[in-house]
Chain A
Amino acid sequence: MLLQTSALSRHFAGLVAVDRVDLAIPQGGIHAVIGPNGAGKTTLFNLISGLATPTAGQISFAGQDITLLPADRRAQAGMARTFQNIRVFATMSVLDNALTGLHARLSASLPAIIARLPGFRRAERDAIARAQAALALVGLQDRAYTQAGALAYGDQRRLEIARAMAGGPRLLLLDEPAAGMNPAERAALATLIRAIAAQGTTVLLVEHDMPFVMGLSDSVTVLNFGRRIFAGPPGAARQDPGVIEAYIGHKAAVRLAGQAP
């Protein structure tokens, strides 16, 4: 298993956002975590990427226990992520954004940087080529010198993916990558995610759009109120009474709330 969590929990002052979740993500493929609003998907991602510390449980990545590893070390170990609410570096160029994704791979010494030694120049050239390749992967190669904040919303989402992919991660975590996208953009995103998986990066994505996930994923984990209520192939998820109830019940509640005066 590339990524494994066991009995992973996170409590927030009385609220159990993630409740003893077991997750097993094999090397390769596209894997989804779905669930209604507030199910704990983002919190689970934060625990996996190290932005939140678990109240209980364990996480292992590539055979190593990373439960106590800080977030930057997890990135260095080959984990990359995007955010549900866009977090590009708005006043930096698109290229510079992609280059930050290579941070863990750059290790020039201070004297080499100050004196612009050949080793530093070579590393920098190499990094720019990798960053450009990541931008090309998401179709932003012509916007390299644009300020990231000036990009359209969908492009900023794709830039986050490029930034995460620039360092060639083993695991890519995507938190609602399709949020706010129109159907055409969603289709293009699905193609992109497949291309990423085809390159050998394992993809773990969070969505609450069931149809988007169903056609794309090799496996699905369903969360509801922090609990894992299903794990298995997408076809089986659609038939699972617990999943149906969580989703239909939730949708019905949303519909009723929307109709309330």
Chain B
Amino acid sequence: MSFDKSVHLSEDQLLMAIVEESDLPISLREHLFTCPKCRADKVRFEQKLTQVGRMAKYYTPPSKQRILLPESEPRSFYLWFRGQQAAFGLALTVAMLILVVWWTAPFKITPEGGVEITAREMQEAESLMTEISILAENALPTVYLDIIGESYTGFDEEFMQFIIPSINKEPQSYDPGTKGVMPC
């Protein structure tokens, strides 16, 4: 025997060996491997711990309850989606294809006479926009415009001259470029 018989593992070292034998220093592991006393002490302590587990199990009453689960299955959207990935991929490809064809060749896929239909629709849209513009300018019918005095729009040059006189030759304001007359 290569170990010193008088130096057995201490109680704490035995506990360390029970927790994880491979964590012991190599010299102690070798001693434990070859010393019958230390080996027996370790086994005895381990048996007590095993007995704790055994008695705990023995002194536990059996469960009388049956586990009840809800009817719905535990299928998350994520898992459902993963299961349908191929179908989703195909649907997406088809949708993309349709979009690409639609945008690149809008007139090619219209039925026969599609161009004329489109031109007529454009004309209708234009006349509608003209109507809207007129309405926006004169929102009220003429009779109501008369009542509120808005119907007359025939302001002539003389009238406008009276309301806003034109800037003539005589300066009426300060002009830094000329030494002039300051208004009184």
**A and B co-occur in one complex:** no
Residues of B within 8 A of A (CB): none
